[in-house]
Amino acid sequence: MRATVPAFDYYAPDTIPELLNLLGRLDSPSLIAGGTDFIPAARLKGFRPANVVSLRNLGKELSYVTIKDGLVRIGALTKIIDAQRSELVCTRAPCLHEALSQIGSVQIRNRATIGGNLCNASPAADSAPPLLVLNASVETIRQGTGRTIPLKDFFLGPGKTALEKAEVLKEVAFRPQEGGSSFEKLGRTNGEDISVASAAVLLKISGSKISEGRIALGSVAPMPMRALQAEKMLSGKEPSAALLDSVASMASDEAVPVTDVRATAEYRKSAVKALVRSAFARALERARGG
Amino acid sequence: MNVQMSVNGDSISLDVPPNEVLLDTLRTRLGLTGSKDVCRTGDCGACTVLLDGRAVNSCLVFTAEVDGSDVLTIEGLVEDDKLHPIQEAFIEEDAAHCGYCTPGMILSAYALLKEKPKPSREDVQEALAGNLCRCGTYYAATNAVLKASQKLREIQSS
């Protein structure tokens, strides 16, 4: 056996109160859901968890895609593949469906969870840009009452979220989308790969004009981000090639990428332009009923 | 910790450390070496097994996490010394060259055909996208899976 994961103490609580209790008393507990980020990090990236708390017994309780009180709600432990295929996601959030379909391989999507993708807080988390343009919020669970945190305030930096000690994600929720949306991702290959850059666009149309546009970017900042300046240029405008040029350039200006093993910062900046352009074109077509 | 699971239909009870992954349990404790040990990071798919009917990378699953589950490995596909129709189709289509990725590809195909007995070429390509082949057998493997789907449907209807 090579490159094994270092030893740790392992806990698998059966209930949420038991989980919260454990998280309250353990020293630096690490949660494991699908494990597809956890295991490679422990094997290769110097992640050394001492106390591992498994969520496997809570899967039944926290796996669901449902609509309640006007919001589409996806339980934190819902497998990516189940969220991807759910009727609600396909029809009410096409950009999210597109993004989830491109996370890893079938094998990864069969294990990985939506909550894991968000809580791991990778700048490249593919579920994040579509959820940002959907204005999603997360619901948390903690002792007493949980909180609602807008997703835009949830990511604090690479690997960092607004969750406090002994607070866990319950679900992510958003209003069924109006208008058209699309997600575009660039990897090093067309097959399964981590995003070099990605963009989600959502457009609402009123008559011949854009009434509202939202743009989110992945892998080009310390956390998934909205391109707010570019969005401002869209309201009340007629879609045109010139408008799209300036919006794509503005989004690229707002991106603050780094150079890493996957691409240079300069390449990512130009990739943003191309991704925003194609996501915009598709979202517009869909908003017009195409 | 104690883990109970079904492997290829046999009930198994094992004591394993929590940091042991399913791939190592299968290969070193149970001698099931059909699941291949290659990248160990979930990129290549050579260690693919079916966990409760779904294709997963066994290098990315702690054995402790599968307590109470059903595991199917490539060894479990053979019945009465007879190869599974997917295995036969891989031979007929010459879809294995060095053969290292083949068990994983066949299990990904098996999961697909259980769920979708009549897949399109694109469905097959998507199902096999997580199984890398350095010999480049993708085209032959895709043909083999389509051929196997036909064989299986003929068996079903006969």
Which residues from chain B sit within 8 angstroms of residue A97, using beta carbons? none
Architecture of domain B85-157: Orthogonal Bundle (1.10)
CB contact under 8 A, B64 and A12: yes
CATH of domain A195-287: 3.30.390.50
CA B155 to chain centre: 21
Whether residue A10 and residue B59 make contact (CB cut-off 8 A), yes or no, is: no
Pick from A154, A153, A179: which is nearest to A93 by CA?
A179
Residues of chain B neighbouring A52 (CB-CB closer than 8 A): 18
Distance from CA of A79 to the nearest CA of B (A): 11
- Say if residue A3's pLDDT is above 70: no
Contact of B18 with chain A, judged by CB distance below 8 Å, is answered with yes
Question: In chain B, where are the structural domains located?
Answer: 2-76, 85-157
How do residues A85-100 score in pLDDT, each as one tens digit?
999 999 999 999 999 9
Q: Is the pLDDT of residue B112 over 80?
A: yes
Query: Do the chains contact at B42 and A39, CB–CB below 8 Å?
Result: yes
pLDDT of residue A193: 77
Q: Would the CB atoms of B1 and A5 count as touching at under 8 Å?
A: no
- DSSP 8-state class, residue B9: T
Return the SS3 of A171. Answer: strand
Pick the residue from chain A with its C-alpha nearest to B25.
Answer: A1
User: What residues of chain A, 77 to 116, have a C-beta less than 8 Å from chain B?
Assistant: 81, 104-108, 110-111
pLDDT score, position A270: 96
The tens digit of pLDDT for each residue in A59-89 reads: 999 999 999 999 999 999 999 999 999 999 9
Q: Which residue of A has its CA nearest to B29?
A: A1
pLDDT at position B158:
84
What's the CATH number of domain A9-57, 3.40.50.1980, 3.30.43.10, 3.20.190.10, 3.30.2130.10? 3.30.43.10
CA-based nearest distance B3→chain A, Å: 13
Interface contact A35-B65, CB threshold 8 A:
yes
Longest CA span, chain A? 64
Strand locations in chain A (E): 9-11, 29-32, 51-54, 65-68, 71-75, 137-141, 148-150, 155-157, 160-161, 168-174, 180-186, 197-206, 209-218, 225-226
Query: A6-9 long-range contacts, Cβ below 8 Å, gap at least 24?
Result: A6/A42, A6/A48, A6/B19, A7/B17, A7/B18, A7/B19, A8/A49, A8/A50, A8/A51, A8/A52, A8/B18, A8/B19, A9/A50, A9/A51, A9/A52, A9/B18
Task: Tell me the C-alpha to C-alpha distance, in Å, between residue B10 and each of A262, B52, B92.
Answer: 44, 14, 30
Q: What is the tens place of the pLDDT at every residue in B28-85?
A: 999 999 999 999 999 999 999 999 999 999 999 999 999 999 999 999 999 999 999 9
pLDDT tens by residue, A241-257: 999 999 999 999 999 99
Average pLDDT in the B106-120 region? 98
pLDDT at A134 over 90: yes
Q: Between residues 41 and 60 of chain B, which touch chain A (CB distance below 8 Å)?
A: 41-42, 45, 48, 51, 54-57, 59-60
To the nearest whole number, what is the mean pLDDT of chain B?
97
Q: Does position A188 have pLDDT exceeding 90, yes or no?
A: no
pLDDT at A189 over 80: no
Which pLDDT band, with edges at 50, 70 and 90, does A159 fall under?
A: very high
Q: pTM for the whole thing?
A: 0.96
* Fold for the domain defined by B2-76: Ubiquitin-like (UB roll) (3.10.20)
Q: Answer yes or no: do A40 and B60 touch at CB < 8 A.
A: yes
A12 touches B: beta carbon within 8 Å: yes
Cα–Cα nearest to A211, from A197, A231, A189: A231
Residues of B in contact with A43 (CB under 8 A): 40-41
Common-topology check for domains A9-57 and A195-287: no
Which is it for strands A51-54 and A137-141: parallel, antiparallel or unpaired? unpaired
**B1 and A CB contact within 8 Å:** yes
Q: How many CB pairs under 8 A join A and B?
A: 89
pLDDT in tens, A19-41: 999 999 999 999 999 999 999 99
Arch. (CATH architecture) of A59-174: 2-Layer Sandwich (3.30)
Q: Domain locations in chain A?
A: 9-57, 59-174, 195-287
CA distance B54 to chain A (A): 7
**From B40, B51, B64, residue closest to A3, measured CB to CB:** B40
A83/chain B closest Cα distance in angstroms = 15
Computed over every residue of chain A, the mean pLDDT equals 95
User: A151: buried, middle or exposed (CB in 10 Å: 19+, 13-18, 0-12)?
Assistant: buried
B107 pLDDT higher than 90: yes
A22 Cα distance to chain centroid:
27
Strand pairing report for A168-174 and A71-75: antiparallel
Predicted confidence band of residue A44 (pLDDT cuts 50, 70, 90): confident
Q: Is the pLDDT of residue A1 over 60?
A: no
Cβ neighbour number for residue B107 with a 10 Å cutoff: 28
Best of B65, B66, B115, B124 to mutate (most A CBs within 10 Å, chain A): B65
- ipTM comes to 0.97
